[in-house]
Amino acid sequence: MNIAHCTQVNVADQPCLRALLGSATDSTIIETPFHCSYGVNIHLEERVFLNAGCTILDSATVRIGAQTMLGPNVQIYCAQHHKDAEKRCAGLEVAKPVTIGKRVWIGGAAIIMPGVTIGDEAIVGAGSVVTKDVPAGATVWAIPLAFAGKATAAGDIPAAISYSG
Protein backbone atom coordinates (compact mmCIF):
# COMPACT_ATOMS: atom_id res chain seq x y z
CA MET A 1 0.00 0.00 0.00
CA ASN A 2 1.33 3.43 -0.88
CA ILE A 3 0.12 6.23 1.35
CA ALA A 4 3.35 8.21 1.07
CA HIS A 5 1.59 11.07 -0.73
CA CYS A 6 -0.53 11.77 2.35
CA THR A 7 0.63 13.43 5.53
CA GLN A 8 -2.26 12.30 7.71
CA VAL A 9 -4.37 9.24 7.11
CA ASN A 10 -7.73 8.66 8.70
CA VAL A 11 -8.56 4.96 8.61
CA ALA A 12 -12.13 5.83 7.57
CA ASP A 13 -10.78 7.34 4.34
CA GLN A 14 -8.39 4.51 3.45
CA PRO A 15 -10.08 1.13 2.92
CA CYS A 16 -6.74 -0.49 2.04
CA LEU A 17 -5.29 0.65 5.39
CA ARG A 18 -8.29 -0.78 7.20
CA ALA A 19 -7.73 -4.05 5.31
CA LEU A 20 -4.05 -4.06 6.30
CA LEU A 21 -4.70 -3.69 10.04
CA GLY A 22 -6.14 -6.40 12.27
CA SER A 23 -8.69 -3.90 13.54
CA ALA A 24 -9.09 -0.13 13.75
CA THR A 25 -11.92 2.34 14.10
CA ASP A 26 -12.89 5.21 11.81
CA SER A 27 -11.43 7.64 14.37
CA THR A 28 -7.90 6.18 14.13
CA ILE A 29 -5.38 8.63 12.65
CA ILE A 30 -1.97 7.60 11.34
CA GLU A 31 0.57 10.19 10.19
CA THR A 32 2.84 9.06 7.38
CA PRO A 33 5.24 7.51 6.95
CA PHE A 34 4.04 4.44 8.86
CA HIS A 35 5.80 1.09 8.79
CA CYS A 36 4.70 -2.35 9.97
CA SER A 37 5.75 -5.94 9.37
CA TYR A 38 2.35 -7.49 8.71
CA GLY A 39 -0.39 -5.16 9.93
CA VAL A 40 -2.85 -7.96 10.58
CA ASN A 41 -1.58 -8.30 14.18
CA ILE A 42 -2.20 -4.60 14.99
CA HIS A 43 -5.42 -3.70 16.83
CA LEU A 44 -6.25 -0.03 17.42
CA GLU A 45 -9.20 1.20 19.50
CA GLU A 46 -11.08 4.51 19.13
CA ARG A 47 -9.20 7.78 18.62
CA VAL A 48 -5.72 6.24 18.55
CA PHE A 49 -3.16 8.63 17.06
CA LEU A 50 0.15 7.47 15.58
CA ASN A 51 2.46 10.37 14.73
CA ALA A 52 4.83 10.41 11.75
CA GLY A 53 7.45 7.71 11.43
CA CYS A 54 5.96 5.11 13.76
CA THR A 55 7.18 1.56 13.20
CA ILE A 56 5.37 -1.51 14.52
CA LEU A 57 7.10 -4.86 13.99
CA ASP A 58 4.00 -6.94 14.59
CA SER A 59 5.20 -10.53 14.46
CA ALA A 60 2.90 -10.95 17.49
CA THR A 61 -0.26 -9.12 18.56
CA VAL A 62 -0.05 -5.38 19.28
CA ARG A 63 -3.06 -3.84 21.03
CA ILE A 64 -3.32 -0.08 21.52
CA GLY A 65 -6.15 1.25 23.70
CA ALA A 66 -8.58 4.08 23.07
CA GLN A 67 -7.37 7.69 23.02
CA THR A 68 -3.71 6.65 23.11
CA MET A 69 -1.15 8.90 21.40
CA LEU A 70 2.23 7.83 20.05
CA GLY A 71 4.76 10.56 19.29
CA PRO A 72 6.88 10.69 16.14
CA ASN A 73 9.22 7.79 15.44
CA VAL A 74 7.90 5.55 18.21
CA GLN A 75 8.92 1.95 17.61
CA ILE A 76 7.12 -1.14 18.89
CA TYR A 77 8.97 -4.44 18.59
CA CYS A 78 7.43 -7.89 19.03
CA ALA A 79 10.30 -9.86 17.51
CA GLN A 80 13.12 -11.02 19.70
CA HIS A 81 16.08 -12.92 18.31
CA HIS A 82 17.45 -15.98 20.06
CA LYS A 83 20.28 -15.40 22.54
CA ASP A 84 22.11 -18.54 21.43
CA ALA A 85 24.29 -17.50 18.46
CA GLU A 86 23.82 -20.77 16.52
CA LYS A 87 20.03 -20.62 16.83
CA ARG A 88 20.04 -16.91 16.01
CA CYS A 89 22.15 -17.51 12.88
CA ALA A 90 19.74 -20.28 11.91
CA GLY A 91 16.98 -17.67 11.87
CA LEU A 92 15.16 -18.79 15.02
CA GLU A 93 13.08 -15.94 16.36
CA VAL A 94 10.45 -15.59 19.05
CA ALA A 95 7.63 -13.06 19.10
CA LYS A 96 5.99 -11.59 22.20
CA PRO A 97 2.83 -9.44 22.22
CA VAL A 98 2.77 -5.77 23.22
CA THR A 99 -0.25 -4.23 24.94
CA ILE A 100 -0.72 -0.51 25.46
CA GLY A 101 -3.68 0.63 27.55
CA LYS A 102 -6.20 3.44 27.15
CA ARG A 103 -5.30 7.15 27.26
CA VAL A 104 -1.55 6.45 27.19
CA TRP A 105 0.95 9.00 25.89
CA ILE A 106 4.22 7.69 24.47
CA GLY A 107 6.77 10.41 23.68
CA GLY A 108 8.70 10.65 20.44
CA ALA A 109 11.39 8.11 19.59
CA ALA A 110 10.46 5.81 22.48
CA ILE A 111 11.08 2.11 21.87
CA ILE A 112 8.70 -0.50 23.29
CA MET A 113 10.37 -3.92 23.56
CA PRO A 114 8.75 -7.37 23.08
CA GLY A 115 6.35 -8.59 25.76
CA VAL A 116 5.77 -5.20 27.41
CA THR A 117 2.40 -4.09 28.79
CA ILE A 118 1.79 -0.39 29.44
CA GLY A 119 -1.15 0.33 31.75
CA ASP A 120 -3.98 2.81 31.23
CA GLU A 121 -3.15 6.53 31.46
CA ALA A 122 0.61 5.95 31.70
CA ILE A 123 3.11 8.39 30.21
CA VAL A 124 6.38 7.24 28.63
CA GLY A 125 8.98 9.97 28.14
CA ALA A 126 10.53 10.71 24.76
CA GLY A 127 13.54 8.59 23.86
CA SER A 128 12.82 5.95 26.50
CA VAL A 129 13.53 2.27 25.92
CA VAL A 130 10.76 0.34 27.69
CA THR A 131 11.92 -3.16 28.64
CA LYS A 132 9.52 -3.85 31.53
CA ASP A 133 5.81 -3.44 32.18
CA VAL A 134 4.61 0.05 33.11
CA PRO A 135 1.83 0.26 35.73
CA ALA A 136 -1.38 2.18 35.05
CA GLY A 137 -1.05 5.90 35.76
CA ALA A 138 2.76 5.82 35.98
CA THR A 139 5.05 8.39 34.38
CA VAL A 140 8.35 6.83 33.30
CA TRP A 141 11.44 7.79 31.36
CA ALA A 142 14.61 5.84 30.89
CA ILE A 143 17.17 8.35 29.69
CA PRO A 144 17.68 10.88 32.49
CA LEU A 145 19.85 13.88 31.83
CA ALA A 146 23.26 13.61 33.45
CA PHE A 147 25.44 16.62 34.14
CA ALA A 148 29.10 15.84 33.70
CA GLY A 149 30.38 19.16 35.01
CA LYS A 150 32.98 21.36 33.39
CA ALA A 151 36.37 20.21 32.26
CA THR A 152 39.20 21.37 34.50
CA ALA A 153 42.13 23.39 33.21
CA ALA A 154 44.04 20.10 32.96
CA GLY A 155 41.31 18.75 30.66
CA ASP A 156 39.89 16.31 33.22
CA ILE A 157 36.14 15.78 33.12
CA PRO A 158 34.56 14.94 36.48
CA ALA A 159 32.43 11.80 36.86
CA ALA A 160 28.80 12.23 35.82
CA ILE A 161 26.36 13.24 38.54
CA SER A 162 22.59 13.16 38.55
CA TYR A 163 20.83 16.27 37.42
CA SER A 164 17.58 17.00 39.18
CA GLY A 165 16.81 20.54 38.20
What gap in Å lies between CA 34 and CA 4, rounded to an integer?
9
Task: Burial-class residue 72 by CB neighbours within 10 Å (0-12, 13-18, 19+).
Answer: middle
What gap in Å lies between CA 153 and CA 150, rounded to an integer?
9
Q: Please, which residues bridge with residue 56 across strands? A: 36, 76
Assess contact for 42 and 60: CB atoms under 8 A.
no
List, by residue number, the catalytic residues.
81
